[in-house]
Structure 1
Amino acid sequence: MPVSGGGIFVNYRRDGSQTMAELIDRDLAEKFGRDQVFLDCRSIRIGDDYARKLLEQVRECRVLLVIIGPAWLSLKTSSGARRIDDPADWIHREIAEAFRAGVRVVPVLLDGTPRLVEAQLPAGIAALARCQHVVVRLGHTRPDVQELIRRLIEIEPRLQRRFGRASLLTVAIVLVVFLAMILLIAIAIKLWSPS
């Protein structure tokens, strides 16, 4: 499902940080709503042009979380070059697009992954090393993600879950049923009370 009205885009490598990305996605969606969190494997519908959809969602999001595991910088292509140095690498492309679009980028360092250093990154995404990061530890995923959520709300209050149409409809139905019950009780009292 596409992110509606801007939200959170989760950028991650399938080899190395997918499980943690899915845990983070689960907690974010629970707090902000599924329509406010974009994770490619859950959010892109079958038959969609994934290349167009990914870049479109990056440009429309409010925050791009870059999930960075210990091997993030060192993963290699089949020719032996670092994947992050390849401008066609999707992680590289999504981060570069976020910077071009003025999206807030937050590095999420996993399990003791050291801070990034500008000199280690390609020029188009070197600014990632200057972005304030958060840490998510494997043994403390829930509390660390709750802290991430608190900090996201602090910088982007519009991310707070809003009542959707379904929620408002539910509230309206409950209110109507409640008022109908009060009316029926009042009628019953009137009918049974001595005149």
Structure 2
Amino acid sequence: MPRVFLSFRKVDSRWMRDRVYQGLIGRFGAGEVFKSGESIPAGADFAEILRRQAAECELMLVLIGPAWLEARGDDGMRLIDRADDWVRVEIETALKAGNRVVPVLLGDATMLPEASALPHEIAHLARLQFLRVPETHLAEELERLCAAVADLMPDIGHGSASPTAPAAPAAEPTVTMTAQVSGGGSAYQAAGDQTIRLA
């Protein structure tokens, strides 16, 4: 089961969240990171899977971009204020389960929402130390994010989902040869991994 859960709002900072996802799976393996659009198979009960993954993940990264808090539905109501908003449900589920939740601010100017701007059930999010992924020098910043995740979960990526280095080829056995040399005979030439013992 994936140990890292990416929580995000679909209308918010798509290109940056996709870069974050690619950076994480490139470092730790796709099996370690849950992202709803990539990790839920067709025909599966997505509501059940989202709730279970949010409850059982070891680390939830809440990706927050400029449109995360103020995104609204057709009725003008903020999505985060709806009890059935999936972003809200995911965060609330992880917090209730006692999982580590880390806000990740996407972009140079995005600010962590204040507790008063959040529903009571997830207001604790505003008191959690955040990480930031600025748009400038994005490759280096993604490396920094991955390093922070590795610090929080030192053994992540060490399971079967992580790439492993190919085993070194076994050494060829040394071949010992005996050559009889009579007066004036020509020299015997052997391969580099062979030993010639004159008798």
Aligned 1:1-195 pairs, distance under 5 A: 2-3=1-2, 7-111=3-107, 112-159=109-156, 161-162=157-158, 164=160, 170-171=166-167, 174=168, 177-179=169-171, 182-183=172-173, 186-187=174-175, 189-190=176-177, 193=196, 194-195=198-199
When residues 113 and 39 of structure 1 are mapped into structure 2, their CA distance, relative to the original with a 3 A threshold, is: same
Task: Flag as ranges the 4+ runs of structure 1 deviating above 2 A.
Answer: 163-171, 189-195
- Identify the range of structure 1 (16-25 vs 86-95) with the bigger mean alpha-carbon deviation: 16-25
Provide the identity percentage.
31
Equivalent residues of 1:12, 1:18 under 8 A apart: no
For 1:154, give the aligned amino acid. D
Larger radius of gyration: 2
Offset of residue 21 of structure 1: 1.3
Secondary structure at 2:12 match in 1: helix
Structure 1 residues 52-110: Cα deviation after superposition (integer angstroms, max 9, x where no partner): 11111112211111111112111111211110011101100000001011111111112
Q: Distance in 2 between matches of 1:155 and 1:119?
A: 28
For 1:121, give the aligned amino acid. L
For 1:142, give the aligned amino acid. A
Unaligned 5+ runs, structure 1: none
Q: Distance in 1 between matches of 2:58 and 2:76?
A: 34
Equivalent residues of 2:13, 2:66 under 8 A apart: no
Unaligned 5+ runs, structure 2: 179-189, 191-195
- Over aligned residue pairs, what C-alpha RMSD do you find? 2.1
When residues 87 and 142 of structure 1 are mapped into structure 2, their CA distance, relative to the original with a 3 A threshold, is: same
When residues 56 and 149 of structure 1 are mapped into structure 2, their CA distance, relative to the original with a 3 A threshold, is: same
**Larger proportion of helix:** 1
**Larger proportion of strand:** 2
Equivalent residues of 2:7, 2:35 under 8 A apart: yes
Q: Distance in 1 between matches of 2:96 and 2:135?
A: 32
What is the count of residue pairs matched by the alignment? 181
Structure 1 residues 4-55: Cα deviation after superposition (integer angstroms, max 9, x where no partner): xxx2111111112222111101111111111111111111111211111111
Secondary structure at 1:138 match in 2: coil
**What TM-score, normalized to structure 1?**
0.84
Structure 1 residues 95-136: Cα deviation after superposition (integer angstroms, max 9, x where no partner): 000101111111111221112100000001000100101111
Offset of residue 139 of structure 1: 2.3
